Every structure is written in C-alpha cells, then in structure tokens.
Amino acid sequence: MDELPTTPEAANHASTETVLKRAGIDPTPLRLAVIQVLAREGRALPAGDILALVQDQHRANKVTLYRILDLFVEKGLARRHSSGDRALRYCLEPGSAGRPHCHAYCLRCGRMECLPGVEGVVDMAALGPALAMEVVAVEVRIDGVCAACRRKPSVPETPVDAGSGNS
C-alpha cells in the first residue's frame, strides 16, 4: 500500500483516501474534497473559505460541510481553533501526527498559520492555579501582523475578511 505516487495530484488523492479510511471515515467525494483542501492549504481555514474552495470542484452545502468538519474533529483528523474573530477555523494535524500545535493569526489579512507543537512552548508548571483543572487542551495563538502584510503599505483597507482570494 505504500506505492509511490507518480504525481503530486495522485499522491494527494490516494493518500487522503487512505487517511480517511484509517480514521474510520467513509471516503465520499465530498469528504475527500474537504480533506484535500485542508491538506493543500496547510493552515487553519474558516468554514466559509473551505466551502468556497471545495465548491470549485464540487457542489456542496454548508450544512454538510459543517457535519464533515465536526466528524473530522471528532475522529481526530482535524482541529478546531478560534481566531478571535467570529469564525472558527479548521486545520489538519501537520505532518499527520496527532499532536496539538500553536497558531499565528494575522490581524490584518486574517491568515492563520500552523506553528510547532505546544510542547516546549508552554510551561504548564508556571500556571500554578490552572492545575486545579483537568487539562484537556492547550490553545496558544500569536496575534500580530504577518511578514507579507508588514511589507505592504499599512492601508486601512477592508479589515480581515478571512478570505484568501478564493471564489
């Protein structure tokens, strides 16, 4: 089953199907399209953006998309994060390893990049009082202005539409 794919496209399709199956998820065309969008973009996207990208190839409904995203999160395939704006964002586990990771959110363009895992970044011991709680997850988000945006004139343009040139 570890055949070398001949093209990146084929690799993407073949391996995402395998990923879904191994997670116990029936690899329907729509689910494949969703996971491929997430894999291709490699960062945390709001559902609206995912829908727009998926719809480039597939007719799709937002309710179904939300259900697919919930399923991915439930099965540990994807993670859901909040960005401080109103929309939650979804990303794959980078490297398909199941480790939680930090994010960087650009307040100007709305891009949310995945960063290394939280291990070594957060010193849980320094949070004394927090340890009164049974920890389930640790969210770390760096808000700021990304390199690309800093290079651009700081035009007070339309603020953060969470859109990335799609649709």
Residues that bind a copy of itself (CB under 8 A): 80, 82-84, 86, 88, 102, 104, 106-107, 113, 115-116, 120-123, 126-130, 132-147, 150
Q: What residue has token string 């690899």?
A: 27
59 binds, among DNA, a copy of itself, Mn ion, none (CB under 5 to 8 A by kind): DNA
The contact pattern for DNA, residues 69-108, with x = CB under 7 A and - = no contact, is -x--------------xxxx--------------------
When the beta carbons of 97 and 135 are compared against Zn ion, the nearer one is: 135
Residues in the interface with DNA (CB under 7 A) total 24
Q: Residue 64 interacts with DNA (CB under 7 A)?
A: yes
Q: How many CA atoms lie within 13 A of 132 on its CB side?
A: 2
Burial bucket for residue 65 (CB in 10 Å: 0-12, 13-18, 19+): buried
Rg of the Cα atoms in the chain: 17
Cα separation, 115 vs 64, whole angstroms: 29
Cα separation, 130 vs 132, whole angstroms: 5
When the beta carbons of 64 and 166 are compared against DNA, the nearer one is: 64
Which one of residues 3, 59, 129, 154 is an interface residue with DNA (CB under 7 A)? 59
Tokens of 7: 């093209």
Q: Closest Cα partner for 99 from 107, 110, 108, 91? A: 91
Chain positions contacting DNA, by CB under 7 A: 25-26, 28-31, 46-48, 59-64, 66-68, 70, 85-88, 162
